[in-house]
Each structure stands twice: as C-alpha cells, then as structure tokens.
Amino acid sequence: MSERPTNEQLTDAFLEHLRVERNLSPRTVTAYASDLGGFCDWAVREDVHVLDADHRRLRRYLAELDRAQYSKRTIARRLAALRSFYRYLVRMQFLTASPAAVLATPKTPQRLPGVTPESLIDQLLGLPDTETPLGARDLAILELLYASGLRVSELTGLDIGDVDLASATVRVMGKGARERIVPIHPLAAKRLQEYLTVGRTRLDKGAASGAYFLNRLGTRLTSGGVRRMLDRYLQQLEQCAHITPHDLRHSFATHLLEGGADLRTVQELLGHVALSTTQIYTHVSTRHLREVHKGAHPRA
C-alpha cells in the first residue's frame, strides 16, 4: 500500500495545478500559497492531516481566525482557498467529497471601489516629463490604465505585438488565460506611439524579448515598478491623494457608466466573467447620480 502524501506534498501539487493547468498569475498563486500555508500551520498544531479534516474541524479553524480578529474579508478569502483546494483533492480522488463545501461564507461588508475625480487624473497626467524616456513611458502607462481599465499585471504582461496602434486596440491576456481585445482612445494611442519612438528605443538593451514596457535596466517592467512609479508622481500633487493602479481601473469603469455605457460593455472591457462582479460599479454610479440630484433639485 502506497504511503499517504503529506500536507505539504498535497498543497504543493495543488499550487502546481494552479500554475500549470489553470495558468493563474504568479501573484494569485502566491496568495493561495499564503492562505493554505496558514491552514497547514493550524493543521500541524492540531495534529490533523488535511485528508482527515471534516467540516467540523474546518469550522473550528475558521472560528480560530475569527477569535484572532482576522477581518471577515480575510476569513472569506481563506475559506475560498480551502474550497478550491478540497475540490482539487476530490478531482484527484484523494477524497470522495469536500468537507469545505458545506461551510457558509462569512458575510463581508460591501466595499465600494475608489473612484478618482477626473480633475485629479488630469493633474496626474500632466506630471511626467515626456522629453525623457522614462517620462514618456510613464505617461503612456497612466494614459493606458485610464483608457483601458487594464489590471496592472495585464499591462506589464503586454508585448509589442499585443498593441495595434493602427486600429487603437490592445490584446490582453486576462485572468484564467482569457484573451480580450480592448479599444483605446486616440490620445492614449498617441502616447503609446510617442513612448515607442522616444522612450522604448532608448530603454531597450535587448534583454526584454519583446516586452512593451521596460524599466531603466531595459528589462520588463513589473507590477511593483508601476506602483512605485505612480507613488512618485502622487507625491508631486498639491492635493494629497492615494491612488493605486486598480483605482484607475475602477475610475475607468465608473466614468464609462456615468457617461452612458451599458453594464455588459463595461463587463467585456474589464474582462469580468460574471456580470455580478461588474455590478458593484452601478452602486458607485448611482451614488454619483444621487449626489447630483441632491445638489440640483430645488426640493432636495
């Protein structure tokens, strides 16, 4: 009879499945590894093998997180990781049923996405010095994020062949290896062209193998590099602001809806699989309409 795999072997196999078969991003796989690592640490303390953990033991694990004052959102995320892990164990025939399937997800307070005012975005876009290679690159990045709603990982993953300036479109490889074509407005296309001619040719040292956005070393720009770049410009604004690349994605979606775009179109542009994921932006847009109504109606 073959020896039963250890907890570590099972989680490593699951993470490899996420990387290879599901083609999830390194950042997502790292998040799964962190969440499952916390569960396995608990299992070691409790002397429980993951294949022996029934729904009662899993509930005790979640209760321990609650007593340790983890947020409802963190507990819900860890439960989601457990569900995926145990579904994998069932598919691989280590188990006949998932003990995590019967557990209820903690209710989490709805967090509306941050929306950056258009005036602040205009100020931000006016900061890069386009006479320098990095300034031309930075303006192209900021314009593209706001023009397309790309995730920062999608932006840094772009290659030269993914951007068609003639048709003003960008081919994006999103979550789960789902490809989509995103149109961009002419100004964003112009900034991308200026970056190619002024910036990228001077940054390219032949080491990036076709990456669209390069760092000062000539290699592919990372998501962390984009965030640090954005933070540097935010420090130059007179108005104190905390804006992330994801906030620009939120602003893109919200401003489209406020401008009359329909929800299905925004869903396609953002690369959301489920319409329910996109519907959070309707709450933001409704809030804006309520504020306009309150300020404009004579009896409001």
Q: What is the pLDDT of residue 1?
A: 40
Query: What is the rounded average pLDDT for all residues in the chain?
Result: 86
Question: Which residue among the candidates 175, 202, 227, 288 is catalytic per the annotation?
Answer: 175
What is the per-residue burial (b if ≥16 Cβ within 10 Å, else e) of 54-82? eeeebbebbeebeeeebeeeebbbbbebb
Selection from 65, 93, 95 nearest residue 79 by Cα? 65
Selection from 71, 80, 72 nearest residue 39 by Cα? 80
**Which carries the bigger pLDDT value, residue 299 or residue 166?**
166
Known active-site residue 111? no
Q: What is the pLDDT of residue 36?
A: 95
Q: What is the pLDDT of residue 284?
A: 55
Cα 188 from Cα 128, distance rounded (Å): 14
Question: Which residue among the candidates 77, 137, 151, 250 is catalytic per the annotation?
Answer: 151
Is the Cα torsion angle 102, 105, 107, 111 positive or negative in sign? Answer: negative
In this predicted structure, the answer to whether residue 250 has a pLDDT above a threshold of 90 is no
Known active-site residue 151? yes
Q: What is the pLDDT of residue 200?
A: 93
Confidence class for position 290, pLDDT limits 50, 70, 90:
low
Known active-site residue 249? yes
- Domains in the chain: ranges and CATH: 7-91 (1.10.150.130), 118-295 (1.10.443.10)
Query: pLDDT tens across 154-184, in order?
Result: 999 999 999 999 999 999 887 777 788 988 9
Query: pLDDT tens across 32-88, in order?
Result: 999 999 999 999 999 999 999 999 999 999 999 999 999 888 999 999 999 999 999
Q: What is the pLDDT of residue 300?
A: 47
Burial (0-12, 13-18, 19+ Cβ within 10 Å), 13? middle
Known active-site residue 281? yes
Query: pLDDT tens across 107-126, in order?
Result: 766 665 667 788 888 999 99
Residue 53 belongs to what H/E stretch? none
